[in-house]
Amino acid sequence: MDAVPLDIIAPIASSRIITPVIKGSNKRSVIKTNGLALDDFIDNLVSGKEKGVKTPILREADMINLCQLTKHVLMSQPVLLELEGPLKVCGDVHGQFRDLLRLFDLCGSPETTNYLFLGDYVDRGKQSLETICLLFAYKVKYPTTFFLLRGNHECQAITRIYGFFDECKRRFNVKLWKCFLDVFNCLPVAAVIENQIFCCHGGISPEFLKQDIANLEDLKQKIRSIPRPAEVPEDGVVCDLLWADPLNPELLDNETEEVPQIFQETGFAPNERGVSYVFSPEVVDRFLTRFGLDLMVRAHQVVEDGYEFFANRSFVTIFSAPNYCGEFDNAGGIFCLSRSVNYRPATNEEEIDLEGSFQILYPEARKRSTVKRPSVTNTLPDEPHRGDYQQVSSQVRILPPGDLAQYQPLHIPLQQPLDHQRYAAAIWTETDNKNATDIGWQPYLVVSPTRRSEDHAVPILEGLSNLVAVAQSSYSLQVAWQPGTERALEQNKKDLHWVYLATGHP
């Protein structure tokens, strides 16, 4: 099934006359390509699928030229995009290049289909370079119909930790990584479609609900004032647009649907990611009502079906990387916006009707691995016991903390309460997929006394000793403490312990 027809979102009607900032029927780029054969570059990336080539050949000089071209195009367009339909809106793709090619097969080539991507193009997946190069190439070739917003992973700090830096360094050099960072700093941060739909990667900023921002034009001016090129700040409007999250619906009272007490004054609360905020359904309602909007579309979080509604279906999360990191078994979602225009002679106005539906990109069928994986059955006690310092330290050889930079985190989701067998199997799969042992990397289970800013780490002191015992006995994983972990473990501070898988050199 390719499309999910909509009774999901009611048709959105408007009598406003829209004059988009960016529009155009000419799909061909008029940008000088500095010697880059753009069509050949795209064909090389796209045609590898038919030829059975998993890793297309990329030349450093071509990618540097592409970065320069993309930066020029992005800086010629505003930091706030004002777009019109029809349009297909895509969420995170995270370096899953084969799935990106499948997405274009499903939804249509950029030559004939308009696209808006909401960010998070790199990190975590195995082919971030191919992914970002194809997206940049399409942006240069189709500048008025193919759009890319900035995600929280399009910045120096996050790509340095979560994979893109290492991929650039391993395959080429650090200079190339810096070229891409220069482009990331020029990406727009939000889009408004037909003055009715607001799009960004993360969420709503408290700054938007202050009294001096009274209407949609004020909101636009606030976002237009964001300077570029610029790094992502630690707080403020840009940070919130890229990092904020809606409140987890499971935290609402089952009977009254009231929000937790911390949200009741402002509708915002600190985000467990350690950056930006979490906002309540009431904040979404205030935001849309104040600015005359009908819907907000964002990405940033994995959702099982590829899309998930919030706040009485006026807010939707889109995630377009199916089987995320080979672990979640989620579908990828694409929001498809169609547009029809009816002329009203009596008022000399156009009536614009927007309708939304979803296309679903299901996980690709995978060949079953012939690698025999060790069994962890019956290696755990029936009930996990408290993983205090003495129990943990007696089971594993603890490495010195070392420099944080030597560890490369791998995204392995943790469940609470811990499913040790599932987690241990995921460790094996991820290590095997990345050929960590073949290239001389040592897998580590890293325990930190502070919260990570990413969603792959959760507090897990309860049962920690069981987990590290399985990791050590079945998978020969070393355990690395981050600074302060030993002291925190000794003090039994349950809320301070976080864990993630990493690789580094022994």
Residue numbers annotated as active site: 153
> If you search the block for the tokens 């119909």, which residue do you land on?
145
Nearest Cα neighbor of 506 from 465, 473, 476 is 476
Asked if 152 contacts 453 with a C-beta cutoff of 8 angstroms, the reply is no
d(CA 50, CA 59): 21
Sheet holding 268-270, edge to edge: 245-246, 277-279, 268-270
Tell me which DSSP letter residue 440 carries: T
With H, G, I as helix, E, B as strand and everything else as coil, classify residue 338.
strand
> N- to C-terminal Cα distance for the chain?
48
Give one word for 54, left, alpha or beta, with left for phi > 0 and alpha for psi -120 to 50. Answer: alpha
Omega into 417 within 30° of 0, i.e. cis? yes
Q: What angle do CA 69, 47, 36 make, to 5 degrees?
A: 25
Q: Are residues 37 and 59 in contact, defined by beta-carbon separation less than 8 angstroms?
A: no
CA-CA distance, 156 to 274, in Å (whole number)?
A: 17
Q: If DSSP codes are grouped into helix, strand and coil, which group holds residue 506? A: coil
The beta strands (E) that lie in 329-416 are given as 332-344, 349-361, 398-399, 408-410
Question: Would you call the peptide bond into 188 cis, given omega within 30 degrees of 0 as the criterion?
Answer: no
Specify the residue for token string 């809606």: 246
Q: Are 66 and 136 in contact (CB under 8 A)?
A: yes
Rg of the chain (C-alpha set): 24
Helix ranges, 365-419 (H): 389-395
Q: Which SS3 state, helix, strand or coil, does residue 254 take?
A: coil
Q: Which of 47, 12, 62, 82 is nearest to 179 (CA)?
A: 62
Residue 91 and residue 301: Cα distance in Å, rounded? 9
CA angle 246, 104, 147 (to 5 degrees): 60
